[in-house]
Amino acid sequence: MDSLMIKGGVPLEGEVQISGAKNAVLPLMAAALLTDEPCVIRRVPDLSDVRFMGQILASLGAEFRMEGDTVHIRAARLKGMADYDLIRKMRASICILGPLLGRLHQAKVSLPGGCVIGSRPVDLHLKGLAALGANITVKNGYVHAKAPKLVGSEVFLGGRVGPTVLGTANVMMAATLAEGVTVIESAACEPEVIDVANFLNGMGAKISGAGSPTVQILGVDKLHGVEHEVIPDRIEAATFAIAAAATGGEITILGARPDHMSAVLDKLGEANVKVERRGRNLTVKRGGRLKPVDITTLPYAGFPTDVQAQMMVLMTLTPGLSIITERVFESRFMHVSELARLGAEIAIEGPSAIVKGGRPLSGAPIMASDLRASAALVIAGLAASGTTVVNRVYHIDRGYERIDDKLRRLGARIERVKET
């Protein structure tokens, strides 16, 4: 198991290229199961989650090949059962359920695993697929779904904390091969949902309204192969922007989509971080003394929960009080205790973290608990004095392509080592 050893206190300087969006790539790969023709996906990041998904597709009978940042998938022959040993490794694997049901009219998929950040139920996925006519039962840890045929329907996907991104993608994918029209109300509006819809439309689907709360799908008889380039990863771009501000450096983020990052860029501006936009590139540096900001995570286009931990690190370095409220996942403050080991002052009150910022951070051994917490702890280590060792960085390899290499090219003193 690897750790990252960081000698902090060095301002990041230079340029960094943003990879394709992890949260789009995984459902795109699953969508390739909807056709027996070849699909080619470009700008695919080299992540452990991508490799896991490739193994899942291969276990289902699909041909999977990754060449550089290009993935080739052909599901000419397909079986409808996905094994627990692969599915348990990440929650996004549940998005194979919709394509299998659409293509084969039956599926048996293990309930998924993933980051430990609170309850992430798949009930809305199952509700949506049942509305299309699927008979669904959960038994012995597996979802069993069967439908002689899928029929378009009105589907409401609003949940306790808002719409479901993967649930929207799952229902949308199954509905492409259903009879008639499906209307998804309270659909997730994330850019990754739009990317999946564009991929499906490229395959011959008829989807309109993606990116809005109402998505309409007119079912077709058959889908064909497609070539597609993945959108840039807005969470990776936000992470590097915050890292630049936290270390007092100046970096240019290449190949981002600023229009997907409005909430994050707005809060960085409030914190007195200067962000200059040049097309799809962003140059980020402090505008002077950092200012405290209050943040509440919300579904898109609100402030993303996947950037909450990183922004909390920046607020620990900012003199004054900040309040960060988590409204998407109820257990996403596990990084707080690790930040405290570096000297941060943070108190948890219900869904909010009260950050008393301005104290310098100092290096210490710390433990990552999930993907985005890992990124936050790396940023903290970059900003801290002395040496920080971030353990369990397999989490970060699930969502950030070679983050240590990218940081080294920006001047960071960071080294991957084996845990002792």
- Respond yes or no: is residue 115 known to be catalytic: yes
* Domain 2-19+232-418 top-level CATH class: alpha beta
Angle at CA 306, nearest 5°, toward 213 and 92? 70
Per domain, the residue ranges of the chain are 2-19+232-418, 22-229
Question: 394: which residues sit within 8 A by CB, 6+ positions away?
Answer: 1, 2, 48
Angle at CA 60, nearest 5°, toward 57 and 61? 95
Rounded to whole angstroms, how far apart are CA atoms 336 and 348? 8
Per-residue pLDDT 10s for the chain (420 aa) are: 899 999 999 999 999 999 999 999 999 999 999 999 999 999 999 999 999 999 999 999 999 999 999 999 999 999 877 766 777 667 678 899 999 999 999 998 888 754 443 444 788 999 999 999 999 998 888 889 999 999 999 999 998 888 999 999 999 999 999 999 999 999 999 999 999 999 999 999 999 999 999 999 999 999 999 999 999 999 999 999 999 999 999 999 999 999 999 999 999 999 999 999 999 999 999 999 999 999 999 999 999 999 999 999 999 999 999 999 999 987 789 999 999 999 999 999 999 999 999 999 999 999 998 999 999 999 999 999 999 999 999 999 999 999 999 999 999 999 999 876
Choose the catalytic residue: 39, 95, 115, 189. Answer: 115
Q: How deeply is 205 buried, as exposed, middle or buried, from its count of CB atoms within 10 A (0-12, 13-18, 19+)?
A: buried
Q: Does residue 174 contact residue 151 with C-beta atoms inside 8 Å?
A: no
Superfamily of domain 22-229 in the CATH hierarchy: Enolpyruvate transferase domain (3.65.10.10)
Rounded to whole angstroms, how far apart are CA atoms 255 and 3? 28
Helical segments of 10-80, H only? 22-31, 48-59
Give the predicted TM-score (pTM) of the model: 0.95
**Among candidates 236, 310, 299, which has minimal Cα distance to 45?**
236
Quote the DSSP letter at residue 94: G
Rounded to whole angstroms, how far apart are CA atoms 191 and 231? 8
Quickly tell me which residue has 């064909």 as its tokens: 224
Return the H-helix or E-strand segment holding 343: none
